[in-house]
Amino acid sequence: MSGSACSASAVGREASASEPFSFRTLYRQRQTTPNFEGARLTLRRRVNFQVARFQRLRRHVRVAALPYVLTVDPLNGCNLHCPHCMTGAGKHGHDVTTLPRALYARLLDELAPTLLLVEFGNWGEPLLDRRLPDLIEAASARGLGTIVATHLSVPLDDAQARALVASGLNVLGVALDGARQETYEQYRVGGRLELVVENIARITRAKRRLHSTTPRIVWSYHVFAHNEHEIEEARARAAALGVDFAFSKGFVTGPDWDPEGRFPFIFEARDGEQVEPCSFLWERAVVSADGGVAPCLGAFSPEDDCGRLDGHTFREVWNGARFKEARRFYRAAPESLGSPEPLCAGCPQTVLFGDYRAHLAGGGTTASFAPGLTAHDGWNYFFHRARPRRLRDEPVSAGARRVPVSAPSPAAASLARRMVS
């Protein structure tokens, strides 16, 4: 589950869901449109962004704005077996397939006028799909920023490296969690660190030959207990390769490996920040390789999809019954709506927002709100909700509402790191 595109928790003003739409309030509450690398900021895109933000803060159930970030899996399989990833752990998700070209073209036709960014790679390895450069090129040609999230541990020749550069890709995020093979492979099971490094060098050479400044390559290091000692060595290797380096805390299933919060999660909020409704239900689209539209990056099973694009436009799904139901959870407690089953009902972000509203209603302030849920709880919620493959015929459970799979330690709770992407 990638969070690279839009993880900053924007702090908006507290807004009443019943406040009617007016251009005046829209103007008053406008925010700076994100400047995603490569995105052309047309007037229509800027307006759509403002309306999406506005409708999110007001928790509109039926929306006029379309998402401005699209995450799409060109292919939802992977050749590695990362133990804390649902794909790597062999959970039951969508059938492994590739995104139909016609469906992708139709999706771009519909969303490109308002989109800013396309991120390739959610629960699969995008570079296993050899059509990836073509898919990127189609997005670049429409003035969209593009990001690929890859482990890059796939054989790549010069022609493929060149095609990737020529596609116009803006950012290549390479997940490389170690400076040495024996450390790296503890999480990236089946991965070959030297192959990844070779590929980075190959793509860098292709950039040079094509006189291209893109893609910006980011060595993205997920920190775990087993690899924290190699961060500086990895940073030095990244510098020697001439690529950027970034690290964030890796999620694990079970107890948080770093309860003192020495390392920051990619999704992070601080004490005293306003909690906003989930960004995905108003601002971001997530499409699986089989055309399923998921409510967010954490959704893994087809049963949790909000609709499908074969036979429907994106907007039909976006304003369909399941998305509207999910948005209603931000206006009233899921139990009161008599529908605890969908993914969003028990999601820590929904729970956290409900707690925050109750805190304000009880006379508390944003500054005094101290939630106990963290991004770690979010990862565990999604992971444990997804069923193992062998149980694929059993019904989806209601999830782990309020009870994180591993209760946050007091230290973790007091650090109040929580999931507000």
Q: Is 298 in the site for ligand SF4 (CB under 6 A)?
A: no
How far apart are CB 335 and ligand SF4 at their closest, in Å?
33
How far apart are CB 60 and ligand SAM at their closest, in Å?
29
Identify the three-state secondary structure at position 222.
strand
Round to whole Å and give the CA distance between 196 and 162.
16
The DSSP letter of residue 98 is: B
By rule CB under 6 A, what count of residues binds ligand SAM?
17
Stretch that binds ligand SF4, among 81-89, 354-362, 371-379, 386-394 (CB under 6 A): 81-89
Residue 245 binding partner per list ligand SF4, ligand SAM, none, with a CB distance cut-off of 5 to 8 Å that depends on partner kind: none
Task: Give the nearer residue to ligand SAM in terms of CB position, either 203 or 345.
Answer: 203
Which residues sit opposite 173 in a β-bridge? 149, 218
Q: Is 278 in the site for ligand SAM (CB under 6 A)?
A: no
Stretch that binds ligand SF4, among 80-88, 292-300, 305-313, 357-365 (CB under 6 A): 80-88
Q: Is 174 in the site for ligand SF4 (CB under 6 A)?
A: no
DSSP H or E run through 101: helix 101-111
Round to whole Å and give the CA distance between 129 and 99.
9
Of 53, 56, 48, residue with least CA distance to 327: 56
Looking at 5, 66, 70, 80, which residue binds ligand SF4 (CB under 6 A)?
80
Measured over the CA atoms of residue 15, residue 21, residue 27 and residue 31, the dihedral's sign is positive
How far apart are CB 396 and ligand SAM at their closest, in Å?
20
Round to whole Å and give the CA distance between 207 and 331.
49
Q: Is 381 in the site for ligand SAM (CB under 6 A)?
A: no
Round to whole Å and give the CA distance between 175 and 149.
7
Which residues sit opposite 294 in a β-bridge? 286
By rule CB under 6 A, what string of x and - marks binding of each residue 101-130 to ligand SF4?
-----------------------xx-----
By rule CB under 6 A, what string of x and - marks binding of each residue 207-246 to ligand SAM?
---------------x------------------------
Lookup result for tokens 């589950």: 1
Q: Is 144 in the site for ligand SAM (CB under 6 A)?
A: no
Looking at 51, 66, 85, 306, which residue binds ligand SF4 (CB under 6 A)?
85
Looking at 36, 219, 251, 353, which residue binds ligand SAM (CB under 6 A)?
251
Round to whole Å and give the CA distance between 386 and 207.
40
Looking at 48, 87, 183, 380, which residue binds ligand SF4 (CB under 6 A)?
87
Q: Is 261 in the site for ligand SAM (CB under 6 A)?
A: no
Lookup result for tokens 């529908």: 339
Task: Give the nearer residue to ligand SF4 in terms of CB position, either 51 or 80.
Answer: 80
Cα–Cα distances in angstroms (integers) from residue 164 to residues 36, 157, 200, 206, in the given order: 19, 11, 12, 9
Of 283, 288, 328, 284, residue with least CA distance to 304: 288
How far apart are CB 295 and ligand SF4 at their closest, in Å?
19
Measured over the CA atoms of residue 162, residue 163, residue 165 and residue 171, the dihedral's sign is negative
Task: Give the nearer residue to ligand SF4 in terms of CB position, either 55 or 87.
Answer: 87
Sheet holding 69-72, edge to edge: 244-249, 216-223, 171-175, 145-150, 117-120, 69-72, 284-287, 292-294, 307-308
Which token pair is 332?
Answer: 């009233």
By rule CB under 6 A, what string of x and - marks binding of each residue 163-182 to ligand SAM?
----------x-x-------
Residue 171 binding partner per list ligand SAM, ligand SF4, none, with a CB distance cut-off of 5 to 8 Å that depends on partner kind: none
Round to whole Å and give the CA distance between 351 and 371.
10
Which residues sit opposite 229 in a β-bridge? none
Stretch that binds ligand SAM, among 121-129, 195-203, 333-341, 401-409 (CB under 6 A): 121-129
Phi, psi torsion values for 245, nearest 5 degrees:
-135, 135
Q: Is 164 in the site for ligand SF4 (CB under 6 A)?
A: no
The answer to whether residues 161 and 192 touch, using CB atoms and an 8 Å cutoff, is no
Residue 205 binding partner per list ligand SAM, ligand SF4, none, with a CB distance cut-off of 5 to 8 Å that depends on partner kind: none
DSSP H or E run through 117: strand 117-120
Identify the three-state secondary structure at position 221.
strand
Stretch that binds ligand SAM, among 24-32, 147-155, 196-204, 230-238 (CB under 6 A): 147-155
How far apart are CB 185 and ligand SAM at their closest, in Å?
14
**Numbers of helices and strands, H then E, in the chain:** 15, 9
Q: Which residues bind ligand SAM (CB under 6 A)?
A: 1-2, 78, 82, 84-85, 121, 123, 125, 149-151, 173, 175, 222, 250-251
Q: Which residues bind ligand SF4 (CB under 6 A)?
A: 78, 80-82, 85, 87-88, 124-125, 151
